[in-house]
Amino acid sequence: MTAQQVKLLSIVLIVLGAALVIWGFQLSGGAANEVTRALTGSSTDAVMYRYLAGAVSLAAGLFLFVTKK
């Protein structure tokens, strides 16, 4: 991959990661998550998966953006 392609991929990963984190945040306020949180004390798996996938994508994108020249 060329440096330009790596930069593009890193930007896509950063945007995707941010979108997943925002989506997870929006889901965390939903009715299904509120009921689950009231009964179990924790968020639904869907919310946690989006937070985790978003964090991994953001970290990978930032790593590629900073390290690859």
The C-alpha atoms of residue 39 and residue 21 are separated, in whole angstroms, by 24
Average pLDDT taken over every residue of the chain: 88
pTM above 0.85, yes or no: no
Number of domains forming the structure of the chain: 1
Q: Per-residue confidence at 69, pLDDT binned at 50, 70, 90? A: low
> What residues make up the domain containing 63?
3-67
- Spell out the residues 6+ positions from residue 45 whose beta carbon is closer than 8 angstroms to its own: none
Residue 11, pLDDT > 90, answer yes
